[in-house]
A and B are shown apart, each in its own frame.
Chain A
């Protein structure tokens, strides 16, 4: 597109500041807030569906199906929370304007988040080999559906966070991008305990 209004560095994610007055919330953050509202409802729908299927079953979990690894996932949840805490430190440093001491917690948050997703992947492989599949029962189907959709969101959030980190290394991380990325990651972390309580326990 033309260069005049949308500047060259603009990729559609970085909103253009169009007015002189200061908005209550930056464009990128407001957009992400609205997106997260939608996502919360997506998970609300999934969790509701799961609750109904669970209550309709005579025995839950269905007999003859492998059990979900509650302890290992509890450990993994702690890793996820640690990543959110690391991001909080980055948040603090960012708002103090201290870009140097922000780098380490950013890398830590990214690393722990990636560990969570990879660990989940290993868990899936084990469960699949034990005979829990999408077609073996609604138990398995809902497990892979809900946890899978959460994992997809985790992927997206990590990608956005990595992008923010890349910008940080280049030295022009904007509050809009960082705010949106951290908000999405906090959403992914925040929705996980609900999933753990409903699906695993």
Chain B
């Protein structure tokens, strides 16, 4: 995790800031430097992604080949299966998507892209990472306590999650809630930092509409997170009390109400989707403008649609509860708002396509990832329309159709978006270029199997396959030859995809060791981070930059170069 941060070549400007030589611990583990904290988040997130991916491998093996001895795990018991599914979901959302997309890129990019030397609250920032690391350790520890890890799905619906006699994990359930709570505290601290830095510490001359899109997206996402997390924290405290103190907040026999939890959970749960989506959309905006050498089509429209998405994201959450016995009057309102939210997202997609139109497109690895993000996310969005309609949802609820739908949204966000960002900013982060050939092999080796995993699951879901079943052989209608073949296809594709991730790690490490030196601005981009050294020293610049124009002035007519950095006076 944090220890795996490679030793960077000592930069010549370190002395300019009068820093005494630091030990490894104070430089990489206790640093308040935003770049180091960003790296810590990124490597922790990647380590958690490996754990989450391994979990997916174990339970997919069980679904395709029931009862088989899974290599590296053993036989997956029903208790194992539920715990694996639960923790896979929670890890991928809370310990991979959020730390990498918001915290890692937010920490690394915000000060560099708005032109200041560090976050405004550096020590709160360090505390944020330490709490996050603690939460990851607490979550993993739940596997080793009496009763094992929690297995009541990442949504932790009571009464299953509230009573040990139902979920059979007296410790695991509480540890799970505690870990999620700690993680929220970490992101709360991080979010305060991101917003305050982006708003108050901008370089002289950088106006609101000169802020790069990815920074805006991270700021909007942080705001969404901060105002939506409160009710869930309240609900989590109540759930913890139900588990440990014997209160009856969610116990219908003693005056409580289990639907109350869903109410509080999804109030956060749905904005959360947009919390991770927006940074990925921002990363895509940076990449497609650079690699098509064109100005972002309609900067303010993208910004306004992002704000519109944020506003609407507070009005759609009850669509997760269409069959929970909610008031049908409410169900219809939420159907309408859910269908409405596809409009701003579609608008952003059109803006990106308009940006590409007529550009000098260069299909480098980051660009491939960015284009794949648009394409794959579109499938996720379009399938969401079916689920948003409350009538169709009664049939499709809790089937693999839902599962395939949200993997088509979360995979592009968390995995494709992350790879796009990492391959694009790798030269800045480590001062070396990544191999483009290996990058492309990794890209196709990830994208093609990804579609082969989840397209079969759409068909299985439409065929009535329920989400939470351990062994389909017990259900004659689901155990047929054709359906089992689709499951085997999905699992085999998963193995292929996981195998191709080795290419990425090989590429990552060899590029670090002996990659070509990147120089300051290998992609010929405009934004401020490319005017700093690669990798940027502590303090980022010897002299903080001044900004003269917006971030997307590419191919301006009458100029010799086809890019116009933000800090060049003319």
Q: Do chains A and B touch in the complex (CB under 8 A)?
A: yes
The size of the chain B interface, using a CB distance under 8 A, is: 61
A138 at the interface (CB under 8 A from B): yes
Establish whether residues A49 and B230, one from each chain, have CB atoms under 8 Å apart when the complex forms: no
- Specify the chain A residue showing the minimal Cβ separation from B26: A1
B471 at the interface (CB under 8 A from A): no
A53 to B249, CA, bound (A): 8
* CB within 8 Å for A1 and B30 given contacts A18-B120, A145-B237: yes
Establish whether residues B120 and A15, one from each chain, have CB atoms under 8 Å apart when the complex forms: yes
Establish whether residues B264 and A49, one from each chain, have CB atoms under 8 Å apart when the complex forms: yes
Closest chain-B Cβ to A20's Cβ sits at a distance in Å of 6
- Specify the chain B residue showing the minimal Cβ separation from A20: B204
A27 to B538, CA, bound (A): 22
* CB within 8 Å for A135 and B248 given contacts A2-B22, A34-B195: yes
Give a binary string over B227-256; 1 marks a CB under 8 Å from any A CB, 0 the rest.
111111111011001000111110000111
The B contact surface, by secondary structure, is: helix
A141 to B117, CA, bound (A): 48
Give a binary string over B31-49; 1 marks a CB under 8 Å from any A CB, 0 the rest.
1100000000000000000
A30 at the interface (CB under 8 A from B): yes
Partner of A30, one of B20, B26, B196: B196
Give a binary string over A45-74; 1 marks a CB under 8 Å from any B CB, 0 the rest.
110110011001100001000000000000
Establish whether residues B264 and A45, one from each chain, have CB atoms under 8 Å apart when the complex forms: yes
Partner of A35, one of B30, B192, B223, B544: B192
- Specify the chain B residue showing the minimal Cβ separation from A137: B255
Establish whether residues A57 and B26, one from each chain, have CB atoms under 8 Å apart when the complex forms: no
B428 at the interface (CB under 8 A from A): no
- Specify the chain B residue showing the minimal Cβ separation from A146: B234
Closest chain-A Cβ to B170's Cβ sits at a distance in Å of 17
A114 to B18, CA, bound (A): 45
- Specify the chain B residue showing the minimal Cβ separation from A45: B231
Establish whether residues B257 and A53, one from each chain, have CB atoms under 8 Å apart when the complex forms: yes
Closest chain-B Cβ to A184's Cβ sits at a distance in Å of 13
B118 at the interface (CB under 8 A from A): yes
Establish whether residues B200 and A27, one from each chain, have CB atoms under 8 Å apart when the complex forms: yes
- Specify the chain A residue showing the minimal Cβ separation from B124: A12
Partner of A34, one of B30, B192, B204, B232: B192
Establish whether residues A12 and B249, one from each chain, have CB atoms under 8 Å apart when the complex forms: no
Establish whether residues A45 and B233, one from each chain, have CB atoms under 8 Å apart when the complex forms: yes
Q: Which residues of A contact B226 (CB under 8 A)?
A: 34, 37-38
What are 15 A-B contacts with C-beta separation under 8 Å?
A1-B30, A4-B18, A6-B118, A11-B123, A16-B122, A18-B120, A30-B200, A34-B195, A37-B227, A49-B235, A49-B263, A53-B256, A57-B255, A138-B249, A141-B241
Binding site for A on B (CB under 8 A): 17-20, 22, 26, 30-32, 116-118, 120-124, 126-127, 188, 191-193, 195-196, 199-204, 223, 226-235, 237-238, 241, 245-249, 254-257, 260, 263-264, 267, 538-539, 544
Ordered nearest first, which 6 A-B pairs have the shortest CB separation? A12-B123, A45-B231, A41-B230, A45-B234, A42-B230, A23-B200
